[in-house]
Amino acid sequence: MSELVYGVHAVEVLLKRNSDSVQRLFVQRNRHDQRAHKLVKLAQSKNIQVIQKDREELDDMTKQRHQGVIAECHQLKAKQFHEKHIPEILDSIDTEPFILILDGVTDPHNLGACLRSADAAGVHMVIAPKDNAASITDVVRKVACGAAESVPFIPVTNLSRTMKQLQERNIWIAGTAGEAEQDIYQANLKGGLAIVMGAEGDGMRRLTRENCDFLIKIPMAGEVSSLNVSVATGVTLFEAVRQRQK
């Protein structure tokens, strides 16, 4: 069984990090720009067959925006993680753990964008509920621009239990909520830290909120009361990065 990975960045990361899974690379016919040439050269260096197709043929392969490049690959199982891997990953980290928890984000575009921000911020893993939440799909891979291949994404059966396990390892959990008393610039986001972002619209679930050590918010100066979850994730993660680099 095979799956498709598309988009220039996602395909490039796949070719660099998991080229053994790639069976064929499809490139839009008569595309001669430098980005496409780079991908073709990279695929050929790894003895991967490159096939040219018309734009319409690529459109038929996937209904998403493919940017003229599609990689057909074996089902990507090697990069899947299970909750049992959480202790292994934590044990392998030689610095203070930095974790992102997504409490029920359902939009694959938001998940992909969150993964991209997590990768850029140096997050060690992204944890999410197994049920009623988005999982890794071709759309997520495309939006994540390769981050779905680089950041461990771990679906868990019981998020509250997982949060307690993190706390037992001296990892503080900061939940984001509009009614929080302190904002992200006042809070201490150094040390072992897991940041919880709530679902689109409803935010964190009650039990998730109750299991947080403290709550934080992004100060809003305009008329809009909240940010898109992927934007809020980027803002919050990089405030933590700023503090942790001091």
Reported as a single tens digit per residue, the pLDDT across 16-55 is 877 888 899 999 998 878 888 899 999 999 999 999 999 8
Q: Rounded to whole angstroms, what are the CA distances from 188 to 9, 90, 156, 184, 235?
A: 34, 21, 27, 8, 15
Specify which of 65-79, 186-200, 216-230 reaches the highest per-range mean pLDDT: 186-200
Residue 66 has pLDDT above 90, yes or no: no
| Binding-site sequence positions | 198, 218, 227
Query: What's the pTM value of the predicted model, to 2 decimals?
Result: 0.76
Cα distance between residue 180 and residue 226, in whole Å:
13
Cβ(206)–Cβ(240) below 8 Å: no
pLDDT of residue 201: 82
Residue 76 has pLDDT above 60, yes or no: no
| Binding-site sequence positions for S-adenosyl-L-methionine | 198, 218, 227
In tens, the pLDDT along 115-165 reads 999 999 999 999 999 999 999 988 888 788 778 878 999 999 999 999 999
User: Within the chain, which residue ranges are assigned CATH 3.40.1280.10?
Assistant: 83-245
User: Within the chain, which residue ranges are assigned CATH 3.30.1330.30?
Assistant: 2-74
CATH 3.40.1280.10 fits 83-245, yes or no: yes
Instruction: Give the CATH number of domain 2-74.
Output: 3.30.1330.30
DSSP-derived letter for residue 84 is G
- The count of C-alpha atoms lying within 13 angstroms of the C-alpha of 3, restricted to the half-sphere facing its C-beta, is 14
